[in-house]
Structure 1
Amino acid sequence: MPRRKPPPAANDFLRRAIASAAARLMAEDGIGDYGAAKRKAARGLGAGDGDALPSNDEVEVELRAYQSLYQEDEQHERLRAMRETALRLMEAMADFRPCLTGSVLDGTAGRFSEIELDLFADSAKDVEIFLLSRNIPYEISDKGQPTHHAAHLPEAQLRLDWGDFPAVLAIYPIAGERHAKRSARSGRGENGRARAAAVAALLATGP
């Protein structure tokens, strides 16, 4: 027999339950990917991957609520420390027109978050040479796409530790500056990047 479709009220309740469970997984277990958190939360509640999965925006609302309720002081202190560290890293990488992105920018950074910077260079090798010349250790986590491919895709991603926090440097071709950063939540192109001046302004106004 075909599976019966749940009534709308039950569907809405399940969506909210999955969003809440996914937010807890992101806040407490360090799952940084919205899709992975939603799928794990759905399985934990006995639902399938395609059953009433909430949007990323719905999960973010629950994540902010969870952090405010259970991690407020810790999260605010960590967010400020990460933004201060990100600003110092941006100043060090100023030759590559860095932009802050990700959870440290949008304010949802938690215990397991990384500082995420977008850099723009003629080649990822330019950034690697810059780091090597200053004896800054790093790892290549993703080779990405050659620079002649789509400008909105990173050529490489480098990981390093800066201060007390891990950082990920996504290196885009110069033309990538003209492309809006796609939101990790909605997938839409939007203002998902901030220059050093904007990060300094965030620090001046608080979390």
Structure 2
Amino acid sequence: MARGEHHRMHAQDRVQRNRLRVAQEAARLMSEHGIRDFHHAKLKAAERLGIHDAQALPRNHEIEQALREHQRIFHAKSHPQLLRERREAAVEAMRFLADFEPRLVGAVLEGTADTHSAVCLHVFSDTPEEVTLFLQERGVPVEVQTRRLRITRDEQAEYTVLLFSADGLPFDLTVLPRDSLRQPPLDRVDEKPMRRASLAMAEELLVADNDDDDFESKLAAVLR
């Protein structure tokens, strides 16, 4: 093997090792410190590891994979129960919010929820105030924020977000217009249409067993 080729392969191996190290550290930060933003987590991880090569920054799906692995290794006993509690809470909330055709999204659906994770739902109304009033009239104090979501690779839009707690768990409701039922926003992990589960799908997922070894096929079956 030529010397130049040897150096090139060595450099590629180093980059791949560093990508894995950054992904693992980003996953740890997300799991243990409640960091929800993938970009922030990977930058903080690279800084902590002293890695400054942009090529060594993993993609979001690599961090999500590392997060699943982190949870399997370090939270094997507690994670299934933690996830089930949040999915049960999600189903109960979706029944409560049935008039707004709720969809379960995010870490609770994907199976990567941790102690910091909110139960994230999309609810649908052409007037966000209608959802706020619905909650307030039923004695649910809400904090109103806004969030930007990517509709296409080139287009973003701002939506109302309602935050509240119930039974000790945080809830995060994004209010989207009714026509967004047909076109989900793009996922922050892979920039594909966000995976969402209706109430019936969430109930089906809750019935599934807790064997994470075949999680993707189970989730795919539920979301078919």
**TM-score (structure 1 length as normaliser):** 0.89
Alpha-carbon RMSD across the aligned residues, in angstroms, is 2.0
SS at match of 1:66: helix
Question: How far apart, CA to CA, are the structure 2 residues paired with 1:83 and 1:69?
Answer: 22
* Correspondence for 2:128: 124
* Correspondence for 1:148: none
Unaligned runs of 5+ in 2: 1-7, 150-154, 211-224
* Correspondence for 2:94: 90
1:108 maps onto 2:112 in alignment: yes
Provide the identity percentage.
Answer: 33
* Correspondence for 1:171: 175
User: Shift of the alpha carbon at 1:183?
Assistant: 1.7
* Correspondence for 1:140: 144
Task: Indicate the structure with greater helix content.
Answer: 2
Rate the CA distance shift 1:143–1:201 in 2: closer, same or farther, 3 A.
closer
Rate the CA distance shift 1:135–1:199 in 2: closer, same or farther, 3 A.
same
Q: Mean Cα displacement is larger for which, 151-160 or 111-120?
A: 151-160
| Matched residue type, 1:128 | T
* Correspondence for 1:204: 207
* Correspondence for 1:80: 84
| Matched residue type, 1:196 | L
Question: How far apart, CA to CA, are the structure 2 residues paired with 1:49 and 1:96?
Answer: 46
1:42 maps onto 2:31 in alignment: no
| Matched residue type, 1:178 | R
Question: How far apart, CA to CA, are the structure 2 residues paired with 1:125 and 1:143?
Answer: 15
Query: Given that residues 154 and 170 in structure 1 are in contact (C-alpha distance below 8 angstroms), is that contact kept between their aligned partners in structure 2?
Result: no
Query: Given that residues 146 and 158 in structure 2 are in contact (C-alpha distance below 8 angstroms), is that contact kept between their aligned partners in structure 1?
Result: no
Question: How far apart, CA to CA, are the structure 1 residues paired with 2:83 and 2:166?
Answer: 15
Rate the CA distance shift 1:153–1:91 in 2: closer, same or farther, 3 A.
farther
Question: How far apart, CA to CA, are the structure 2 residues paired with 1:110 and 1:125?
Answer: 30
1:187 maps onto 2:184 in alignment: no
Query: Given that residues 148 and 156 in structure 2 are in contact (C-alpha distance below 8 angstroms), is that contact kept between their aligned partners in structure 1?
Result: no
Unaligned runs of 5+ in 1: 146-150
Q: How far does the alpha carbon of each residue in 1:140-191 deviate from its partner, in whole angstroms, 9 at most, with x for none?
A: 022769xxxxx9845300100122210010000111111134222111225x
| Matched residue type, 2:196 | R
Question: How far apart, CA to CA, are the structure 2 residues paired with 1:141 and 1:49?
Answer: 35
Rate the CA distance shift 1:95–1:178 in 2: closer, same or farther, 3 A.
same
Rate the CA distance shift 1:144–1:38 in 2: closer, same or farther, 3 A.
closer
SS at match of 1:167: strand
* Correspondence for 2:166: 162
User: Shift of the alpha carbon at 1:27?
Assistant: 1.2
| Matched residue type, 2:206 | L
Rate the CA distance shift 1:179–1:67 in 2: closer, same or farther, 3 A.
same
SS at match of 1:184: coil
